[in-house]
């Protein structure tokens, strides 16, 4: 989910609260918040099945007034929900809104164009095609270290050293 990459960035930005954009991501948002020792809130919304329009009814959790908040989601395509959530949060007095997405499955155009989002942060878990890295509102975080650590952990669990399993490979066992 990119937490090992995203959380240090959020700490460096002095984020005060984690926001889940909906009830469906609340469990994951709570994990981010717990690791950061921050409060978590959930946007209460409903999507009209006919028009796909989103209506935000409120927020469950502490007030956001004067806070630097991070809306965290696992995936976005257009970024429309992030933009609408950010507009609501700024209307509630949030000082700064970060839109954090692990997997960018589109261009995030609506989020990048939103005047209510201060920064859109994505990982490079998928190729980033969001108007190019030239967009000053876009920050791309590399998950290479997380992937390498996961692979290292998988191979460390093997009974035989990897270098013996893959003769002639470039892999060197650590002593």
Are residues 72 and 61 in contact, defined by beta-carbon separation less than 8 angstroms?
A: no
Q: Which of 45, 55, 80, 139 is catalytic?
A: 45
Locate 39 and state its tokens: 């409060």
10 Å Cβ neighbour count for 22?
18
Q: Does 27 participate in catalysis according to the annotation? A: no
User: CB neighbours of 54 closer than 8 A, spacing ≥ 6?
Assistant: 45, 46, 47, 48, 80, 81, 84
Q: Which residues pair with 42 in a beta bridge?
A: 20, 60
> By C-alpha distance, which of 27, 23, 62 is closest to 41?
62
Distance, in Å, from the CA atom of 112 to the CA atom of 98, rounded to the nearest integer, reads 11
Q: Give the up-direction half-sphere exposure of residue 61: CA atoms within 13 A in the CB hemisphere.
A: 25
The catalytic residue positions are: 45
């Amino acid at each position: 989910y990119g937490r090992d990459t995203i959380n240090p960035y959020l700490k460096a930005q002095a984020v005060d609260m984690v926001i889940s954009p909906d009830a469906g991501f609340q469990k994951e948002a709570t994990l981010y918040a717990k690791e950061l020792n921050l409060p978590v809130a959930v946007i209460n919304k409903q999507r009209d099945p006919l028009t796909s329009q989103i209506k935000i009814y409120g927020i469950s959790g502490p007030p956001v007034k004067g806070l630097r908040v991070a809306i965290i989601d696992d995936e976005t395509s257009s970024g429309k929900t992030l933009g609408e959530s950010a507009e609501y949060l700024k209307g509630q007095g949030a000082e700064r809104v970060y839109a954090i997405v692990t997997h960018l499955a589109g261009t995030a155009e609506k989020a990048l164009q939103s005047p209510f989002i201060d920064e859109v942060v994505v990982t490079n878990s998928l190729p980033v095609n969001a108007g190019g890295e030239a967009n000053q509102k876009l920050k791309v975080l590399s998950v290479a270290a997380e992937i390498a650590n996961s692979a290292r952990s998988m191979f460390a669990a093997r009974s035989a050293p990897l270098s013996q399993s893959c003769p002639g490979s470039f892999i060197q066992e650590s002593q």
